[in-house]
Amino acid sequence: MKTFNGRVLFLDRPDINTDEIIPAKYLTEISREALKPFLLEDLKLDGFDPATDIEKNNVIITRSNFGCGSSREHAPWALEANGINLVIAESFARIFRQNMFNCGMMALELPGDTIGRLFSQYSAEPAFAEADPDTGTITLSNNTQTEQIPFSISTFDRELITAGGWLNYADTKY
Amino acid sequence: MGKTIAEKIFASHVVDKPSGDIHVIRLDGVFCHEITTPSAIVDLIERGKDRVFEPEKIKAVIDHVTPAKDSKTALQGKILREWSRRHKIRNFFDVGRNGVCHALFPEKGFVRPGYTIIMGDSHTCTYGAFGAFAAGVGTTDLEVGILKGVCAFKYPSTMRINITGVLPAGVFAKDVILSVIGRIGVNGATNQVIEFGGPVVEAMSMEARMTLCNMAIEAGATCGICEPDSTTVAYLWEFIADQYASESAALDAFSVHKPDADARYSSVLNHDVSSLVPMATYGYKPDEVKPVSEMDGTPVDQVYIGSCTNGRIEDLREAAKVLKGQNISDTVRAIVSPATPKVYATALEEGLIKIFTDAGCCVTNPTCGACLGMSNGVLAEGEVCASTTNRNFNGRMGKGGNVHLMSPATAAATAIAGHITAVRG
Ligand code: SF4
């Protein structure tokens, strides 16, 4: 099973699409590791600089409809190549969300007002998050506070994470 | 309780319900192209699982970058080509016989009512035009599809959109779908199937229905679906004539794929198009839509007519009607990309290609190319493109470029004017 913790990168915009996560011109790469330098290269967001903000962070917290657009699994791969196995958002596009769990990664949904509160309480200074699929809790902390936030995850998604993805799961079952 | 089209298809294809509302369904088709499939093939080889579940149900095409533009894209084509040969995948379409997947595969008769199809491409939802459940998936789903012929989905709730009224002359399926997305938003149908119906859809050709369903994903939908009817039968007849005694027998058989009268929908939207005008996008999201008239005069550098949304023969006919006897503006370049070899050949026969070249357009071979900013018309930083494609994301057709989505007729009028404008008169 992968690990789901690290310093948090806050991306304060809804509808961040897969072209922004990994532009189409890099889809000619066959190795996943080759995608590493290009993650979020085309994302234009005030206060965000891919050159400095990706390396130190291993969790993303963002708004609604993250990962909309193309079906490219290169989006989760580019995240994984940068050590990001966990994205927490108000909602995800279907294919992106499925791709994450299919790769044994986690895309967790929290209510919009919780996400809003996390942005206002944690985004100003370094924050750390850890998600535990067994207990269904996210632990979020910074220098001054720590809290636990429950999340729900289906049995199927938990099994995908434990199996290390959908291919391993399907291969033993079907 | 009655069922929607998608629910009926799920009921007849379910092989497992591992938990909650997850359904693992049997697949009638796994379609492949050279951008997302090679990484699946390489991974399957590395895992020692280089097998396919049923070669007849797998269709493959090189379409995104073709002919190859460099050694990396050549390698992607090579991996797909060799895999197709190795596994005796008969329906593999290489350069010369290839075209944009979502135009080519329906044209070959590979999509039928009631089918379940996946492909590593988000616009797989196009095939719903035939009353099929078809969804874009990522590489891992594709790998499992290739290996096992199954895929897992959340049981889909269905949003019903009735397109009502009468579509005015000069307004097309593209304008309809842009207006629908503008109304419900890019997240309006996430995790749902959109079932399109109503008199306007019933009157649409298969090509127009494909344009409609193609952009269902731009509202987040898993698939857009139309009810199969006599138009569907007529389109497919050359492929199914040996299976049914008559077209009406086929129509009877297809009626099992219609929704029940008491089907339960998550929501029902009536979308009246009687006063709809030509529409275009203005921002970087497909729901940022307004009437073309409100954008009149916006300068563009390039016009692009093609793609799985609007590169079919009817689209080229509409563009040619506008461009006939005209010259495109000196300030723009225009690229026309017929979506398949058959579209190309028909356009040649009908004299459309001559109309385009006489007007000063560049006509390319069938390919996705510029649509996703990979080849054949990539934008430079700061350039603007009036395009008949389906995505206006920032950088979609080239880093720093801006895309306005519109119908082929509007794109053609824009090419002549040199700035965004609707067809006059
Ligand atoms: S034409 Fe564009 S949208 Fe359609 S399959 Fe090709 S790249 Fe994708």
Nearest residue of chain A to residue B15 (CA atoms)? A174
Q: What is the pLDDT of residues A129-141, one digit of tens each?
A: 999 999 999 999 9
Whether B186 and chain A come into contact, CB under 8 Å, resolves to yes
- Give, using CA atoms, the residue closest to atom 6 of ligand 1: B368
Q: Which atom of ligand 1 is nearest to the CA of B101?
A: 5
Predicted confidence at residue B270, as pLDDT, reads 98
Q: Which residues of A touch B393 (CB under 8 A)?
A: 17, 19-20, 69
Residue B425 has pLDDT above 70, yes or no: no
Residue A27 has pLDDT above 90, yes or no: no
Residue A171 has pLDDT above 80, yes or no: yes
Predicted confidence at residue B1, as pLDDT, reads 82
- Locate the domains of chain A by residue range: 5-173
CATH class of B5-154: alpha beta
Phi, psi at B83, each rounded to 5°: -65, -45
Predicted confidence at residue B61, as pLDDT, reads 98
Do residues B27 and B150 touch, judged by C-beta distance below 8 A? yes
Angstroms from B246 CA to nearest CA on chain A: 39
Mean pLDDT of B258-277: 98
DSSP 3-state percent helix, strand, coil across chain A (nearest 5) = 35, 20, 40
- Chain B interface disruption, residue of A25, A28, A33, A62, most B CBs within 10 A: A28
- CA dihedral (B51, B52, B55, B58) positive or negative: negative
Q: Which residues of B touch A19 (CB under 8 A)?
A: 391, 393-396
Do residues B226 and B129 touch, judged by C-beta distance below 8 A? yes
Of B346, B179, B193, B164, residue with least CA distance to B278: B179
- 3-state SS, residue B178: helix
What mean pLDDT is reported for chain B?
A: 97
Phi, psi at B187, each rounded to 5°: -115, 10
Do residues B376 and B367 touch, judged by C-beta distance below 8 A? yes
Phi, psi at A146, each rounded to 5°: -140, 140
- CA dihedral (A152, A154, A155, A157) positive or negative: negative
Question: What percentage of chain B exceeds 70 in pLDDT?
Answer: 100
What would the CATH number be for the domain defined by B157-272?
Answer: 3.40.1060.10
- Chain A interface disruption, residue of B73, B187, B390, most A CBs within 10 A: B187
- Locate the domains of chain B by residue range: 5-154, 157-272, 280-417
DSSP letter, residue B285: S
Structure tokens at B161: 């959109």
Q: What is the pLDDT of residues B32-48, one digit of tens each?
A: 999 999 999 999 999 99
Predicted confidence at residue B20, as pLDDT, reads 87
Report d(CA A8, CA B145) in Å as an integer: 35
Strand partners, A159: none
ipTM entry: 0.91
Whether B78 and chain A come into contact, CB under 8 Å, resolves to no
Beta pairing class for B333-337 and B362-363? parallel
Confidence of residue A158 (pLDDT cuts 50, 70, 90): very high
Predicted confidence at residue A31, as pLDDT, reads 82
- CA dihedral (B209, B210, B213, B214) positive or negative: negative
What would the CATH number be for the domain defined by A5-173?
Answer: 3.20.19.10
Q: Beginning with the edge strand found earlier in the chain, give each strand of the sheet holding B116-119 in spatial order.
A: B92-93, B58-61, B29-33, B116-119, B133-136
Do residues B226 and B201 touch, judged by C-beta distance below 8 A? yes
Report d(CA B225, CA B263) in Å as an integer: 14
Of B362, B368, B124, B171, residue with least CA distance to B280: B171
- 3-state SS, residue B304: strand
Question: What percentage of chain A exceeds 70 in pLDDT?
Answer: 100
Count how many residues are written for chain B: 425
Q: What is the pLDDT of residues B60-118, one digit of tens each?
A: 999 999 999 999 999 999 999 999 999 999 999 999 999 999 999 999 999 999 999 99
Predicted confidence at residue A24, as pLDDT, reads 86
Q: Which residues of A touch B (CB under 8 A)?
A: 14-15, 17, 19-20, 23-25, 27-30, 32, 42, 44, 64-65, 68-73, 76, 91, 93-95, 98-99, 102-103, 154-156, 159, 165-167, 170-171, 173-174
Q: What is the pLDDT of residues B344-382, one digit of tens each?
A: 999 999 999 999 999 999 999 999 999 999 999 999 999
Mean pLDDT of B287-313: 98
Do residues B168 and B409 touch, judged by C-beta distance below 8 A? no
Angstroms from A123 CA to nearest CA on chain B: 25
Do residues B242 and B141 touch, judged by C-beta distance below 8 A? no
Predicted confidence at residue A1, as pLDDT, reads 87
Report d(CA B183, CA B389) in Å as an integer: 19
Q: How many CB pairs under 8 A join A and B?
A: 144
Burial B331-356 (b: 16+ CB within 10 A, else e): ebbbbbbbbbbbbbebbeeeebbebb
Angle at B237 between CA B259 and CA B390, to 5 degrees: 65
Of B277, B290, B315, B297, residue with least CA distance to B417: B297
Ligand 1 contact via B376 beta carbon (within 6 Å): no
User: Are B5-154 and B280-417 equal in CATH topology?
Assistant: yes
Q: Verify whether the Cβ–Cβ distance B47 to A167 is below 8 Å.
A: yes
Mean pLDDT of A1-19: 95
Residue B13 has pLDDT above 70, yes or no: yes
Angstroms from B142 CA to nearest CA on chain A: 10
Q: Which atom of ligand 1 is nearest to the CA of B374?
A: 7
Structure tokens at B28: 């009638």
Q: How far is the CA of A24 from the centre of ligand 1 (A)?
A: 11
User: Residue A161 is which amino acid?
Assistant: I
Residue B19 has pLDDT above 90, yes or no: no
Of A19, A29, A167, the CB nearest to B144: A167
Confidence of residue B139 (pLDDT cuts 50, 70, 90): very high
Residue A30 has pLDDT above 80, yes or no: no
* CATH label, B280-417, candidates 3.40.50.10210, 3.30.499.10, 1.10.1050.10, 3.40.50.880: 3.30.499.10
Taking phi over 0 as left and psi of -120 to 50 as alpha, with beta for the rest, A104 belongs to left
Q: Verify whether the Cβ–Cβ distance B18 to A155 is below 8 Å.
A: yes
Report d(CA B280, CA B273) in Å as an integer: 15
Q: What is the pLDDT of residues B196-250, one digit of tens each?
A: 999 999 999 999 999 999 999 999 999 999 999 999 999 999 999 999 999 999 9
Report d(CA B151, CA B143) in Å as an integer: 10
CA atoms within 13 A on the CB side of A16: 25
Report d(CA B276, CA B180) in Å as an integer: 11
